[in-house]
A and B are shown apart, each in its own frame.
Chain A
């Protein structure tokens, strides 16, 4: 990113941080957390400990970071090197990202930027100009992606509450600042479990690694009664609703499943996993030393803010998470796809000089689709 773009983003971010201290709060048990931040075109600075909101605001004003992070873990000494921190426990965290949902709409709102010649195009396999395969993909706002991600959040909450006995009040949902959601679970029985245990938990939540026997199918000597009932709890219940469709079809479909055999049932399970399993990023949940984007901070992939979603269904990130100013700025834009922010349409821009509000300019610059003119 060039100097002018960086200083424009830094100015805009700083203004946001200065005007919205109310949105940027340190999490509970602050002094046990590790903080970290990144600046544009620079590496990560981490192992920072902070006492309170004031110290955080000072850090933001002094460093004007591109991204700010905070650990889900609690340590005795958060500012020491990793193996001396003395890990105590960690909140459960989940990342749901539209990019991982394999939605058919993706290619309509994704552009690629060639790493070799910087050409921007809608072709996602090779650069049309220099034929390079080193493409960086950038996705633009899409309502469908957000809606699909919301459904995953709902599915996740259902498993957390019903199967894992998590109190609904201890679940907090945030828009990630780009195209997904971050979910936090506080004070559960899972606070102290390690990474391998969390990995198992992610497999459970994603319905991954299930064997046919769990859902009633056997290799030999079938028993119709061992297939799940329609009203059962947990994955057996969700599976039966997905596969049987209705109570009345249960018997007929069990006959079909048995007739199709064991290995075909495994395929049915894989299909169920794809359809009803919750699509969370396993790497995030099993990481017990992660520094995770701080609520209230700006995501430099988009210029949007990571904010809490009180009413998930109504939530529109492209309206509610855009906090940068309306002051206009002139940019050289190359965004072949139209997008909507704060209910205004922008683009498509085909390598042209345009005057747009700061929030839209920042969005495009963060996506590498524009530069300050």
Chain B
């Protein structure tokens, strides 16, 4: 019988890399989502065009193609990234593009009368966005952000193909060394599922927090 303790350690190491990627990728995605999402509702044409190009480009191709492009093509342009950097960059930019549409949708969903009230109160555009629009738009974004974070978690499996030692990569290593296929893959499937559950639980808690005090404002 194979001694599994060493292999379990290997998979847990992979889980750590997956976790790292998910957290850093989400952070980058969040930043990109707000930059591009608010860029799309900007009053300057150039900013709008730039944001739209970014969004369409990254939504139009899959994370896999982008990752390979970042990892294999950018070095020829003189930018050499480690697999981890390439992974975070590709995942963050890709999911950020989806998030940007969510931000835009939520900002647009805030009623006209709120905007008019801001003008009547003589708030600048920045103030209106920060104090009136965004606090109301945030609860609208969270459920979709939750889905996006889970998509990002699932996307991290792809980085194993550029030789980053994440959970999927380690499962392949274990498979190659033990010849057993069922156990490593079943274990990582369960681990991925648990991580996805953790994300959705956290998001639900966060949702309750940001909607606190907004009861009765919106039906």
A and B pair up? no
Q: Residues on A close to B: CB < 8 A?
A: none
